[in-house]
A and B are shown apart, each in its own frame.
Chain A
Amino acid sequence: MPRAKNAQPKLVNIEINGIPLQVPEGELLVEAAKRIGEDIPIFCYHKYMKPVGMCRMCLVEVGYKQPDGSVRKMPKPQASCTLPCTEGLVAWTQSEQIIKDRRAVLEFLLINHPLDCPICDRGGECPLQNNTQFYGPPISRYIEIKRHLPKAFPLSKYVMLDLERCIQCGRCVRFTEEISGDAQLALLFRGAQTQPHTFQLTEFTSRFSGNVIEICPVGALTSRTYRFRARPWDIVTQKSICTMCSNGCNLYFDSRAGKVVRINARENPEVNETWTCDKGKFEQVEFLNAPNRLTQPMRRNGTAWEPISWAQAYELMLERFARARGAVGGLAGTRLSNEALYLFQKLMRAGFQSNHIDHRMTRYQGDLWAHAQSLLNKPPVANEYRDLEATHLIFVFGADLIDEQPMVFLRARKAWRHYGVKVAVAYPVANAVEEFAETRLRYRAGSELALVKGLLYILLDKLPAETVAANLPDHEWLRALLQDCTPAWTQDHTGIAAEQLLAFADTIASVPSMLILTGEKVWNHPESEELVKHLMWLTRLTGNCHQESGGLNLLPLGANEQGASDMGVLPNRLPGYALVEDEAARERFTQAWGAPVPSTPGLNTDGILQACLTGEIQALYLAGANPVREHYDPTLAERALRACEFVVVQDSHMTESAEYADLLLPACTVAESEGTYTNWERRVQRFWRALEPPGESKPDWLIFAELWLRQVRQTPPFNPREVMCEIASLVPQYAECTYEALGDSGKRWG
């Protein structure tokens, strides 16, 4: 049963340490105890995994109220991490017996655990160390020989296993079984020899391997990239958001001596729960610390780079942009914050009088918002993480979900595992979703459109006539359009057997709601505009545009791609999706910005690159964008950059596109600036500044603000907070997204 989205749990009366309280029925006793501030020590229990009761650290005394009012105490202490609360439960967590039992469990755990915390990488942030300090015996009575096992065994590129420190809590094993689903770790042997490992000591190749490091309650699993680089007490921790994809995982950046040394997950039950993927956890550190950082504005001097000052750089840039007289274009990267993106388009529009701005690098560069509004009356991404658990069928279409949207993958898997949500996947090659998908459609690469057409054709017949009429009153033209797309035709074009397609259509027709997740294959389809429209018709036809827990989700790929659209880094739309042709909207922005906004829609990415070739655009501003690497046609990008007269590249690192620049502006990474990102589900989330900018680099928003000051000669904003206030006042969707309102865990708009 999918999880009802806003179900109200039944409450039961329990009593802990004499304090009566009401908790939802079935809540585990450890969690219930937290409500009265009672922290029961634990090792094996993890909030987001099924409890197992292995370590016995959380024992408490338990009784049940009898009808006559007396309390019947259970003879043995019970594990509170596995005990669901029921009416009349009475628990004692501080009794003398429990204090003794905790000491006993810790004594047992420590007999084989090395007592060398000072040289352990976990020392200082280790649950075993902490629990021993609070509840453990002061000395050990153990004089036998300890268990000796291999130390520092590299499980994978990122994870190191020290078996001697392992306390066999099973968390890591359960993670790979329950959460990531790759089941790569197992407990080998039995009794005192029990040890977690990969089955044949092969490499641990999970995409989510980093999580086991975080959940290991001792120093058994450590990060090979962080191990012995720093100590918990000499790192500074700052809250942040991941920039590796659009999932918007909440993170902590741990930095030491001006460098991010480690990234950990930050809990947000609405988003990443408490997980991260290895891209966010390890590759991001590599990215942040990459040696090719830009730290100084530079201009091209023949084949060499000549360092210049910021003032010279601004002067040079403004002079060349002025010379181009409106024949300027700008591409923004999706790692920029909302504030930076907003200021970027403001600068380009009101400052340089050009609507030639965009952020999209895939083939699809149409007016997505308009289609979604007119066909579905919803934003192009309809749902949020929670909806994955509430829907009945998740249809992954053209996305390698585990790679493109790792957290969405984990949620989809959870929905399937815990709530029995059906999953279907259509992708040209093998992918991880297939492991739990009920329907697996491996179509021929490039035949996405044919597949959707075939599905529509079948569904038009399969769905009851009144449903079709209600959902798509004007369905006759669609029928006419699709008249050839019979199952046999579809089989011919996609390679998917007609029966399989029919069976899948049956499934779609039988479920009350369906949630479609699309990916890169849709964005980069040669006929992506058509494909997107067909997907919208599919959503409409099945009635999912009216479903709260269903709908179409054209998932963005870049970290802040959603924010870039919201902020109006689009050739035809102002912040908040107002059209540039819209007189009233333009007037509003002109008023606020104190400078006019050009009224003709600009060129999109492809148009801008083409215009560079023809000379229609003479100055190009790449703000965090790297078309040579990211654009679907790198050759076009390369030629365009080479042809363009003046290219400004503003980036944190030396990129492929920067090789073609005439002027380089050093910008900051996410760790060095402050701002907000909007993830795929339109959740606006804050990140904080963790580090000082290196060298002379500046945060993106500041560069735009300083250019604004020089170009328009108006007071620029002084900090991102102020920019967000301006956005909130102008963009209706962001009206409630001031920093105060966003808090630590963000807020979803729409």
Chain B
Amino acid sequence: MGEYRLLLKHVDVPGYDTLEVYRQYGGYEALEKALQMERQAVIDEVKKSGLRGRGGAGFPAWIKWNGIPKDDDKPHYVICNSDEGEPGTFKDFELMYKAPHQLIEGMIIAGYAVRAKCGYIYIRGEYVECARKVRRAIDEAYKAGYLGKNILGSGFDYDIYIHMGAGSYECGEESALMSSLMGERGMPRLKFPHAPLPTIAGVWDCPTLINNCESLSCVPHIIRNGGEWYAQLGASTKNSRGTKIFSVSGHVNRPGNYEVEFGTPLMELIEMAGGVAGGKLKGIIPGGSSMPILPAEKCENAIIGYEELMEVGSMVGSGGCMVLNEHTCIVHFAWRTAEFYAHESCGKCTPCREGTRWMVQILERILQGKGRMEDIDLLLEICDQIDGRSFCALGDAAAWPVRAFIKNFRHEFEYYIQHGRSMYADNPESQKMFPPKGYQRYNPMRYEYTFGYAPRK
């Protein structure tokens, strides 16, 4: 229980991003081991480890791995989802920046297990530095014979390519990512049962394995130490195994990435990060801005684990743990969150496209002091109308936080509407949390024309 540095164990060793140092700490041993194993044995090892996706949904990794057809003649692909768009999450950044070889090793093992032809690392557009590091690491791996033709004499050929995103949160959603990778508009595609699973028809209609950067970085450790060993970690939880990196941010004294074993109490994580800064705790969003907020009372008993956090009303998500202290104005926070989702909605489906914009407009009106009491219920109803009705989970992700804010802090909204100003308007501690003067808000009325609508004859 408590902090357990597995993926992040050596990241602070100088030069760990180079092949030489990585190998000093046992790098690529797992790959060598894996290449000796049967492909199915590798998948079984992942199955034994109980690894679940770290990208947000927590889907058992081995099911995806096992779902890739074993005897077809189409090319297979592995995609590493490093788009990391979730506000509050920055774990993949550190993994790629400081331990790129760990990711690459994981991807090669995954590629070997599913007979892939090549792998793509889809990196968030802003992570230019990460992409450079990964690029260098890939080059080193090619030189050392870990990539390319006939890897380590095993007869397995594999290449890895980097693809940079262009600044869309939605492109982290797996099917939108695949569209984007293929050069299409970053919009999600039909999912099972409306269309075949990506493991059958993913990019270019070929079997595709898509996993989060952290999930893939776990793989070398699983192979090196065995699935059973990995499954011991977090054994106290219902169904979460191993370690999870949380990006702790907000009102804590030492924000940063902390890797903990599943089963650790949530408050212990906050303590690791130096405890709540600037006052008492108000609430924690444990899994990135898409997840519902946990008010302070619930945080006390919260245990980190997929099912455990769900029981108290939130989710592990991507591990973007945001801590709010008592001086935070929830109405502002809700508005800022809603603004993000309205800005990132891809526009494909009606509930998300129209609903997110409407929510921002209502919240903005409340902020301007022109709110009406019925707006609170209206917001809740809009959340209901989006949640579960949208095409992809971004709609749900837009609805959950707002709903949780209102459910847990309704009095703040009521106060704001009654008085036309925030409860914290006079609180000197809160001042720096309000948006600075002149902040350019997401303006749903503004159209970003790059070219004018000149009248035509």
Instruction: Kindly list chain A residues whose C-beta atoms are within 8 Å of the C-beta of B451.
Output: 200-201
Q: Which residues of chain A from 383 to 401 have any CB-CB distance to chain B below 8 Å in the complex?
A: none
Beta-carbon contacts of A190-206 to B below 8 Å, as 1s and 0s?
11111000001101000
Q: A83-B193, A153-B453, A200-B451 are known contacts. Are A187 and B350 too (CB-CB below 8 A)? A: no
CA A6 – CA B354 in complex, angstroms? 45
- How many Å from the CB of B7 to the closest CB on chain A? 33
- How many Å from the CB of A97 to the closest CB on chain B? 10
Pick from B190, B346, B347, B354: contact of A52, CB under 8 Å: B190
Pick from A101, A104, A147, A191: contact of B345, CB under 8 Å: A191
CA A200 – CA B344 in complex, angstroms? 23
Determine whether B343 belongs to the interface, using a CB cutoff of 8 Å to chain A. yes
Instruction: Kindly list chain B residues whose C-beta atoms are within 8 Å of the C-beta of A111.
Output: 354, 358
Check A201–B350 contact: CB distance below 8 A.
no
Q: Which residues of chain A from 37 to 82 have any CB-CB distance to chain B below 8 Å in the complex?
A: 51-57, 59, 75-79, 82
- How many Å from the CB of A220 to the closest CB on chain B? 15
Nearest A residue to B189 by beta-carbon distance?
A52
CA A164 – CA B349 in complex, angstroms? 17
Q: A82-B190, A83-B193 are known contacts. Are A112 and B354 too (CB-CB below 8 A)? A: yes
- How many Å from the CB of B163 to the closest CB on chain A? 19
**Interface residue tally on A, bucketed by range:** 35 or more
Top 10 closest pairs, chain A to chain B, by CB:
A194-B347, A104-B385, A108-B354, A191-B345, A192-B357, A144-B361, A82-B194, A76-B388, A150-B453, A190-B347
Check A54–B346 contact: CB distance below 8 A.
no
Determine whether B263 belongs to the interface, using a CB cutoff of 8 Å to chain A. no
Instruction: Kindly list chain A residues whose C-beta atoms are within 8 Å of the C-beta of B168.
Output: 190
CA A192 – CA B357 in complex, angstroms? 7
Q: Which residues of chain B from 333 to 360 have any CB-CB distance to chain A below 8 Å in the complex?
A: 342-351, 353-358
Check A192–B351 contact: CB distance below 8 A.
no
Beta-carbon contacts of A17-54 to B below 8 Å, as 1s and 0s?
00000000000000000000000000000000001111
Beta-carbon contacts of B164-205 to A below 8 Å, as 1s and 0s?
000010100000000000000110001001110000000000
Check A191–B344 contact: CB distance below 8 A.
yes
CA A201 – CA B453 in complex, angstroms? 8
Pick from B185, B354, B385, B453: contact of A192, CB under 8 Å: B354
Nearest B residue to A203 by beta-carbon distance?
B456
Instruction: Kindly list chain A residues whose C-beta atoms are within 8 Å of the C-beta of B347.
Output: 168, 187, 189-194
- Quick check: which of B149-157, B254-262, B289-297, B441-449 contacts chain A, the rest being far away? B441-449
Q: A153-B453, A191-B345, A191-B347 are known contacts. Are A76 and B356 too (CB-CB below 8 A)? A: no
CA A82 – CA B388 in complex, angstroms? 16
- How many Å from the CB of A290 to the closest CB on chain B? 24
Interface of B (DSSP majority class):
loop
CA A76 – CA B358 in complex, angstroms? 22
Pick from A75, A147, A170: contact of B388, CB under 8 Å: A75
Determine whether A167 belongs to the interface, using a CB cutoff of 8 Å to chain B. yes
Instruction: Kindly list chain B residues whose C-beta atoms are within 8 Å of the C-beta of A150.
Output: 453
- How many Å from the CB of B196 to the closest CB on chain A? 10
CA A147 – CA B64 in complex, angstroms? 42
Q: A75-B388, A107-B385, A147-B445 are known contacts. Are A191 and B343 too (CB-CB below 8 A)? A: yes
Instruction: Kindly list chain B residues whose C-beta atoms are within 8 Å of the C-beta of A83.
Output: 193-194
CA A111 – CA B185 in complex, angstroms? 25
Instruction: Kindly list chain A residues whose C-beta atoms are within 8 Å of the C-beta of B390.
Output: 56
18 contacting pairs across A/B (C-beta < 8 A): A56-B350, A57-B350, A77-B388, A79-B194, A82-B194, A83-B194, A84-B194, A86-B193, A101-B385, A101-B389, A148-B445, A189-B347, A191-B345, A191-B347, A192-B354, A192-B444, A193-B447, A203-B456
- How many Å from the CB of B103 to the closest CB on chain A? 29
Nearest B residue to A78 by beta-carbon distance?
B194
Determine whether B162 belongs to the interface, using a CB cutoff of 8 Å to chain A. no
- How many Å from the CB of B373 to the closest CB on chain A? 14
Determine whether B5 belongs to the interface, using a CB cutoff of 8 Å to chain A. no
Check B356–A192 contact: CB distance below 8 A.
yes
Instruction: Kindly list chain A residues whose C-beta atoms are within 8 Å of the C-beta of B355.
Output: 108
Nearest A residue to B348 by beta-carbon distance?
A54
Check A167–B350 contact: CB distance below 8 A.
yes
Instruction: Kindly list chain B residues whose C-beta atoms are within 8 Å of the C-beta of A189.
Output: 347, 447-448
Instruction: Kindly list chain B residues whose C-beta atoms are within 8 Å of the C-beta of A101.
Output: 385, 389
- How many Å from the CB of B24 to the closest CB on chain A? 46
CA A83 – CA B194 in complex, angstroms? 5
CA A168 – CA B448 in complex, angstroms? 17
Beta-carbon contacts of B286-321 to A below 8 Å, as 1s and 0s?
000000000000000000000000000000000000
- How many Å from the CB of B446 to the closest CB on chain A? 8
Check B389–A105 contact: CB distance below 8 A.
yes
Pick from B170, B343, B349, B444: contact of A147, CB under 8 Å: B444
CA A186 – CA B348 in complex, angstroms? 13
Nearest B residue to A191 by beta-carbon distance?
B345
Determine whether A228 belongs to the interface, using a CB cutoff of 8 Å to chain B. no
Nearest A residue to B396 by beta-carbon distance?
A76
Instruction: Kindly list chain B residues whose C-beta atoms are within 8 Å of the C-beta of A112.
Output: 354
Instruction: Kindly list chain A residues whose C-beta atoms are within 8 Å of the C-beta of B267.
Output: none
Pick from A78, A154, A167: contact of B456, CB under 8 Å: A154
CA A470 – CA B308 in complex, angstroms? 76
Check A109–B356 contact: CB distance below 8 A.
no
Determine whether A718 belongs to the interface, using a CB cutoff of 8 Å to chain B. no
Determine whether B136 belongs to the interface, using a CB cutoff of 8 Å to chain A. no
Check B385–A109 contact: CB distance below 8 A.
no
- How many Å from the CB of B166 to the closest CB on chain A? 11
- A-binding residues in B (CB < 8 A): 168, 170, 185-186, 190, 193-195, 342-351, 353-358, 361-362, 365, 378, 385, 388-391, 444-445, 447-448, 451, 453-454, 456
Nearest B residue to A141 by beta-carbon distance?
B378
- How many Å from the CB of A395 to the closest CB on chain B? 27
Instruction: Kindly list chain A residues whose C-beta atoms are within 8 Å of the C-beta of B378.
Output: 141
Q: A54-B391, A105-B389, A187-B185 are known contacts. Are A194 and B361 too (CB-CB below 8 A)? A: no
Determine whether A142 belongs to the interface, using a CB cutoff of 8 Å to chain B. yes
CA A107 – CA B357 in complex, angstroms? 13
Q: A82-B194, A147-B444, A191-B357 are known contacts. Are A108 and B350 too (CB-CB below 8 A)? A: yes
- How many Å from the CB of B360 to the closest CB on chain A? 9
Instruction: Kindly list chain A residues whose C-beta atoms are within 8 Å of the C-beta of B391.
Output: 53-54, 56, 79
Nearest A residue to B358 by beta-carbon distance?
A111
Q: Which residues of chain A from 138 to 163 have any CB-CB distance to chain B below 8 Å in the complex?
A: 141-142, 144-145, 147-150, 153-154
Other contacts beyond A105-B351, A190-B344: 5, CB < 8 A: A56-B389, A111-B354, A153-B456, A187-B185, A193-B444
Pick from B190, B345, B388, B456: contact of A190, CB under 8 Å: B345
Check A55–B388 contact: CB distance below 8 A.
no
Check A105–B345 contact: CB distance below 8 A.
no
Instruction: Kindly list chain B residues whose C-beta atoms are within 8 Å of the C-beta of A145.
Output: 361, 445
Q: A144-B358, A149-B447 are known contacts. Are A192 and B349 too (CB-CB below 8 A)? A: no
Instruction: Kindly list chain A residues whose C-beta atoms are within 8 Å of the C-beta of B345.
Output: 190-192
Q: A108-B385, A144-B365, A154-B456 are known contacts. Are A56 and B349 too (CB-CB below 8 A)? A: yes
CA A192 – CA B388 in complex, angstroms? 19
Instruction: Kindly list chain B residues whose C-beta atoms are within 8 Å of the C-beta of A147.
Output: 444-445
- How many Å from the CB of B354 to the closest CB on chain A? 4
CA A217 – CA B356 in complex, angstroms? 23
CA A54 – CA B188 in complex, angstroms? 10
- How many Å from the CB of A497 to the closest CB on chain B? 31
CA A231 – CA B388 in complex, angstroms? 39
- How many Å from the CB of A465 to the closest CB on chain B? 34
Instruction: Kindly list chain A residues whose C-beta atoms are within 8 Å of the C-beta of B190.
Output: 51-53, 82
Instruction: Kindly list chain A residues whose C-beta atoms are within 8 Å of the C-beta of B354.
Output: 108-109, 111-112, 192
- How many Å from the CB of A203 to the closest CB on chain B? 8
Nearest B residue to A75 by beta-carbon distance?
B388
- How many Å from the CB of B392 to the closest CB on chain A? 10
- How many Å from the CB of A52 to the closest CB on chain B? 7
> Could you say which of B195, B353, B355, B453 has the most chain A C-beta atoms within 10 Å of its C-beta?
B353
Instruction: Kindly list chain B residues whose C-beta atoms are within 8 Å of the C-beta of A104.
Output: 351, 385, 389
CA A150 – CA B449 in complex, angstroms? 12
- How many Å from the CB of B12 to the closest CB on chain A? 39
